[in-house]
Amino acid sequence: MSGLARFGVSLEERLLESFDQAIAKKGYIKRSEAIRDLIRAFLVEQEWEEGEETVGTVTIVYDHSLRELPDALIEFQHSHFTSIISTLHVHLDQHNCLEVAVIKGKSSEIREIADRLIGMKGVKHGKLCMATTGRAIS
């Protein structure tokens, strides 16, 4: 592990107060730990955006009883089988399903596939999570 470096940051008092309140709600005891996590998240996102080959997961929630949606989802996933390398399906209740798709490829392709899945008519909620091997933060 490399040595620690210290740096000073100047910012508006109100901005710092808001930041301190927000990180306290998340359970941070030390401001430096929160700043460290923000920097790591930024670097991971940067690494993800610039990566030739990367990976992400898309989580969607939808009502399977909507007639055309389940078929449209299956059709879409099969037509992108080289990118969508795995899916997990959970029946949340009588109607609602949660699906997680693992997508591999260029970040732009992953984002496009994620947008298409999330944007499908009947999908109630969706979110893309970018993942990397963390070269930038190790």
| Closer Cβ to Ni ion, 91 or 116, answer by number | 91
Of the listed pieces 5-13, 75-83, 93-101, 120-128, which binds Ni ion according to CB under 5 A? Answer: 93-101
> Is 91 one of the binding residues for Ni ion (CB under 5 A)?
yes
Backbone φ and ψ for 61, nearest 5 degrees, come out as -125, 130
Where helices occur in the chain by DSSP H, the ranges are 13-25, 31-50, 69-79, 107-118
Q: CA-CA distance, 56 to 114, in Å (whole number)?
A: 9
Quote the least distance from Cβ 61 to Ni ion, whole Å. Answer: 10
Of the listed pieces 30-38, 40-48, 69-77, 89-97, which binds Ni ion according to CB under 5 A? Answer: 89-97
* Residues touching Ni ion, count (CB under 5 A): 3
Of the listed pieces 27-35, 44-52, 57-65, 100-108, which binds Ni ion according to CB under 5 A? Answer: 57-65
Quote the least distance from Cβ 56 to Ni ion, whole Å. Answer: 22
| Closer Cβ to Ni ion, 64 or 104, answer by number | 64
Q: Chain-centre distance of CA 9, in angstroms?
A: 28
> Is 97 one of the binding residues for Ni ion (CB under 5 A)?
yes
- Nearest-Å Rg of the Cα atoms of the chain is 19
Is residue 11 a contact partner of residue 5, using CB atoms and an 8 Å limit?
Answer: no
Please choose, from the candidates 69, 99, 68, 67, the residue with its C-alpha nearest in 3D space to the C-alpha of residue 86.
99
By the criterion CB under 5 A, which residues form the site for Ni ion? Answer: 64, 91, 97
